[in-house]
Amino acid sequence: MNEFKEWGHEYLSRLSSDIGSEYNYRLEQQMGADDLLELVNQVVPRFMDHNQEHDAIDLLMEVDKLDQLEKFVS
């Protein structure tokens, strides 16, 4: 799954949006979202490494994990 790191900013921004939407849907349906959170843990560092902190923060807020921002800051 790490090949997404080679994809552009536009794709990752769209992926982040889709992750947020799917996460909220799954919460409403009382479904698990561990696979989505795994993706978040891969996408956020890529955003942080490319000076796109605002996108990382937006994604973390969408999945109610803003409190984990510190683990992505180096």
In order, the DSSP letters of 28-68 are HTT---HHHHHHHHHHHHHHHHTT-HHHHHHHHHHTT-GGG
**Does 12 reside within a domain?**
yes
**Does 72 reside within a domain?**
no
**Does 73 reside within a domain?**
no
The confidence score (pLDDT) of residue 65 equals 95
**Does 10 reside within a domain?**
yes
Q: How far is CA 65 from CA 10, 32, 71, in A?
A: 22, 15, 11
- pLDDT digit string, tens, across residues 26-43: 999 999 999 999 999 999
**Does 29 reside within a domain?**
yes
Number of domains, the chain: 1
Range of 35's domain? Answer: 2-66
Q: Which residues of the chain have pLDDT under 50?
A: none
**Does 27 reside within a domain?**
yes
The confidence score (pLDDT) of residue 19 equals 97
**Does 24 reside within a domain?**
yes
Q: Which are the contacts of 26, defined by CB distance < 8 A and separation ≥ 6?
A: 32, 33, 36
